[in-house]
Amino acid sequence: NAGVTQTPKFRILKIGQSMTLQCTQDMNHNYMYWYRQDPGMGLKLIYYSVGAGITDKGEVPNGYNVSRSTTEDFPLRLELAAPSQTSVYFCASGLRSAEQYFGPGTRLTVT
């Protein structure tokens, strides 16, 4: 199993641009999550999904959108990128919500 894969690994965006961060898991997990981690801080939950077709907001959803059309994929969309969205983004999945498996992260810089 590849586990949780995220693309791209790094990205630089200009203010106002849009992009989609990809997340795929091959473990047939129902639960999937998007977090962001600012330098020196803990992770903050952006959105999560408990199954295909079901998504819900986390602690910091503003400026982001998600969709979950399949069990495997949970893309995160940034519209109108802002410098405040400079962060490392982690995707996670789990068979149970308590035990989450994290991807390697996407480092995003908005300038």
**Residues at the site binding another protein, with contacts judged by CB under 8 A:** 4, 31, 33, 35, 40-45, 48, 50, 56, 58-59, 90, 92, 94, 96-105
Residue 71 pairs in a beta bridge with none
CB of 105 to another protein, least distance (A): 6
Tokens of 93: 């999945």
CB of 2 to another protein, least distance (A): 14
Among residues 9 and 14, whose Cβ is nearest to another protein? Answer: 9
Among residues 20 and 44, whose Cβ is nearest to another protein? Answer: 44
Among residues 92 and 108, whose Cβ is nearest to another protein? Answer: 92
Exposure b/e, 30-46, CB count within 10 A at least 16 = b: bbbbbbbeeeeeebebb
**Taking a C-beta distance cutoff of 8 angstroms, is the pair 111, 14 a contact?**
yes
CB of 108 to another protein, least distance (A): 15
**Taking a C-beta distance cutoff of 8 angstroms, is the pair 29, 95 a contact?**
yes
